[in-house]
Chains A and B, each alone.
Chain A
Amino acid sequence: MKTYTTNLINWLDKRYNIKEIIGFITEKKVPIYKHTIWYYMGGITLLFFIIQVLTGILLLLYYRPTPEEAFESVQFIMTQVHYGWLIRSIHSWSANLMILFAFIHMFSVLLLKSYRPPRELTWVTGVLLMYISLAFGFTGYLLPWNELSFFATKVGTDIAGVIPFIGKFIIRFLRGGEDVTGATLTRLFGFHVAVLPGVIIVILVIHLLMVQRQGMSKPIGLKEVKKGMLFFPDFFLRDLLGWLFAVGILAALAAIFPWELGQKADPFSSAPEGIAPEWYFLFMFQTLKFFPARILILDGEVIAVFIFAALGIFWILIPFLDTKARREQKSPIFTTIGIFAILYVGIITILSYFVFK
């Protein structure tokens, strides 16, 4: 068996010089210190992404993206297809866990300042992956065509409409018309299963190649890390252990709390009470509500949307703005920004569930 493997490697090496890649991986090292645990978060996010792709493909076999059939086809998946309920439940739970771990990964990278040179573009691609994941969440939410997702999409796309000059165009672009209709469903379905996967795969590959090429970053002031482990097999096996743990949690959540389908959307009925987006949009949704209707002569909601857009760009540019970290110095300002962002997002999200209902 070993001879076969060696022969295969030799055969491939003659053609693609793969021994160089194998050598690179086997020699790659990962530092061991008190924050090593955060290195696993990206891997877990990747695992949930892979689960999303696999379960998504299975759902595609039965899902039909029309207002007449969308709800019924999901209902069919959940009640008639063997293990359909499990696949759909895993897809929904895994989506949420993927975004949760993407948040944890992003904030750990932010606080450890791992974005500093030479890893600026790894951060940029990572933030872009985060935004695309949120877009996945938004576009996938409407697909079951249930009451809650229908009205949440209506409210969500309405927000885009407040942008001066191009707001109306964005609404028409997202909805495929003036209102949320069957055209919106097929459009968001197209984004969800074709456009976004294409884009995310390209950026994800770049992101992973960068991480592999540059290795793990060590935090500022911890240059003298003495202990370390080989990426393969030590870190890889630990990663695998983390994946097993994540799969166990996912299986338990999907089986014990199967994702509900709710009531079929009725575009002519009035919006039910308590319309809210998915939890990862709640902090933005709630912040919009905090803004007064008018600030001086400007519309409060417009200002809020612009602030969020500016913050989104600021977030991408952090590695270039944090000049202290660039010089390998501690940068308390960006640590404070990071902690404030975590507290704000966390507290507002929790309060949205329990207080601002």
Chain B
Amino acid sequence: MYSHNLMKNIIRHFNIIYILFLFIFLFPAIYLFPQERHNNCIECHSKFEEEETSPTIEFKNDIHNTSGMLCSDCHGGDPEINAGGNQELAMNPKKGYKPPPGHNEIPEFCARCHSDFEYMKKFNPNIRVDQYENYLTSQHGKLLAKGDDKVANCVSCHKTHGIRKKTNPASAVFANKIPETCSKCHSDPEYMKEYKILTNQLEMYKKSVHGEFLLEKGDLNAPACNDCHGNHGAAPPGVESVHNVCGVCHSGNNQLFLKSSHKKYFDEFGFPECASCHEHHLIKKLTEESLGVGDQSVCGICHTQEDEGGIIAVEMKNIIENFSALRDTCQILSEEVERKGMPVNEIKYQMNNVDSELLKARNIVHSFSLENIKQITEEGTKLAISVKKMANDELKEYQIRRIGLAVSLFFIFLAGTALYLKIKKIDKKNIINSF
């Protein structure tokens, strides 16, 4: 009886249940598929801006667009209003519309959001918001503050409406694009004339060991302009900071240099530390030839053959050259062992150790201590001699195998000949002619 009444009640209230059902399940479903935001700006502007570089085209792949932002999020106005082509309605100052910022206003314009962590963390909780602050300390920022309208601002490097993530290879600030991006201004003598700075940085950088790795070998970890000069706070490091800048990556060499006798004198004479020998932008990879006091040496810039430093430099050169020559001999022997098909794994493994000892010896030069160099090369030389012995042993073994084969083949041949003669002998009586 009770259940009968319950059924009756359910049927009576069916419409209410039905509506409730729709409300509970359909409303969230609508919420899950939000309508695309309408953008009247693109619709109108694309009619009269047909060039490739126009904002309506460039903005398609812009990081702001792909993150769901509209033109109005930067420029204000109401892009979603049905204005029927009426600019006044869409670009209404009352709705926050502002005309595009001037060159000197751009950093502040971008900083409205990019310096606001509360806002920016919605897009990336680890995002940096100190770009504007850094920019103000940069050479660019300082000149901009003085009213210079030629210096770089945000859009000079990041573009205006085609801004992409720095990790996007199409971005102008992607690791291997940076030298070219900076050089747009810095390699233009006409443009840079009034600043009285050199314009050959890109040319030098391309020849440098850094440029070789980044631009030719595609090693994205190799440093570009920003890694030494800073990103948004870009400025020349200053003579006394060079070792710190290089030391970010070359920390071992930096420590050796700081403890060396040279640090004191470099400071005294105002030499730009690392750049004194390796040069800046050109960042030369120095070899044994750079030691000593010969024509190509960098020690010879300050030292002569007669002074104590010069004598030590020549000795350093000889020690490392001898070790390097021994290493090359080992390499040649190792290749010969491999060519001859003999086991080479252990030799190769030990060759890696010899190479790392040579690298250590070259690095220890930054301590400018003959004692240190002798110690490292002694260990390396011992190792190289053992590798040389191993390789020579393998080559001897190769010869032994050859001789062993020749001897074996000789006996096989001898046995074969004896067998052949025996067959010939017994054939005469054994061959059956009536099979």
Contact = CB atoms under 8 A, between A and B. Distances in A.
Contact of A227 (B343, B419, B423, B433): B433
Given A234-B423, A252-B405, A255-B402, A244 B430 contact: no
Nearest to B423: A237
Contacts of A257: 341
B434 A244 contact: no
B432 A79 contact: no
A329 B346 CA distance: 64
A165 B411 CA distance: 57
Contact of A255 (B405, B412, B431, B435): B405
B405 A256 contact: yes
A244 B435 contact: no
Interface string A2-36: 00000000000000000000000000010110000
A203 interface: no
A29 B341 CA distance: 47
Contacts of A240: 419
Contact of B419 (A228, A244, A247): A244
B343 A251 contact: no
A233 interface: yes
B405 A79 contact: no
A260 B423 CA distance: 39
Given A244-B416, A252-B405, A226 B435 contact: yes
Interface string B342-378: 1101100000000000000000000000000000000
B258 interface: no
Nearest to A31: B435
Interface string B15-58: 00000000000000000000000000000000000000000000
Contact of B426 (A234, A244, A245): A234
A255 B342 CA distance: 10
A106 interface: no
Interface string B150-179: 000000000000000000000000000000
Nearest to B435: A228
A307 B435 CA distance: 44
A161 B413 CA distance: 50
Per DSSP, chain A at the interface is helix
Interface string A55-82: 0000000000000000000010011000
B341 A234 contact: no
A97 B404 CA distance: 22
B404 A255 contact: yes
Contacts of B435: 29, 31-32, 225-228
Given A240-B419, A241-B423, A257-B341, A251 B408 contact: yes
A240 B402 CA distance: 25
Contact of B431 (A79, A229, A237): A229
Nearest to B401: A255
Contacts of A255: 401-402, 404-405
Contact of B430 (A79, A86, A229, A252): A229
Interface string B394-435: 000000011011001100110110011011001100111111
Contacts of B402: 255
Contact of A79 (B346, B401, B404, B434): B346
A85 interface: yes
A75 B416 CA distance: 35
A260 B343 CA distance: 9
A258 interface: yes
A254 to B, nearest CB: 9
Interface string A202-241: 0000000000000000000000011111100110011011
Interface residues of B, number: 27
A78 B343 contact: yes
Contacts of A258: 341-342
B343 A226 contact: no
A118 interface: no
Contacts, number: 73
Interface string B61-86: 00000000000000000000000000
A226 B434 contact: yes
Nearest to A230: B430
A234 B422 CA distance: 9
Nearest to A218: B435
Contact of B412 (A31, A244, A256): A244
A248 interface: yes
Contacts of A230: 430, 432
A240 B342 CA distance: 32
A258 B162 CA distance: 60
Contact of B409 (A31, A252, A260): A252
Contacts of A241: 416, 419-420, 423
Interface string B261-293: 000000000000000000000000000000000
Contact of B413 (A78, A86, A226, A248): A248
User: Most chain-A Cβ atoms within 10 A of its Cβ — which of B420, B423, B427?
Assistant: B423
Interface string A315-353: 000000000000000000000000000000000000000
Contacts of A238: 423
Nearest to B412: A248
A245 B434 CA distance: 31
B427 A234 contact: yes
Nearest to A78: B343
A32 B431 contact: yes
A227 B430 CA distance: 11
A37 to B, nearest CB: 14
A29 B432 contact: yes
B413 A85 contact: no
A258 B339 CA distance: 12
Question: 9 nearest interchain CB pairs?
Answer: A228-B435, A255-B405, A79-B343, A248-B412, A228-B432, A244-B416, A241-B419, A258-B341, A237-B423
Given A31-B435, A234-B430, A251-B408, 15 more contacts: A29-B435, A32-B431, A86-B401, A226-B435, A227-B432, A229-B431, A233-B430, A237-B422, A241-B416, A241-B420, A241-B423, A244-B412, A248-B412, A248-B413, A255-B405
15 contacts: A32-B431, A78-B343, A79-B346, A225-B435, A227-B432, A228-B431, A230-B430, A237-B422, A241-B420, A244-B412, A244-B416, A244-B419, A248-B413, A251-B405, A260-B341
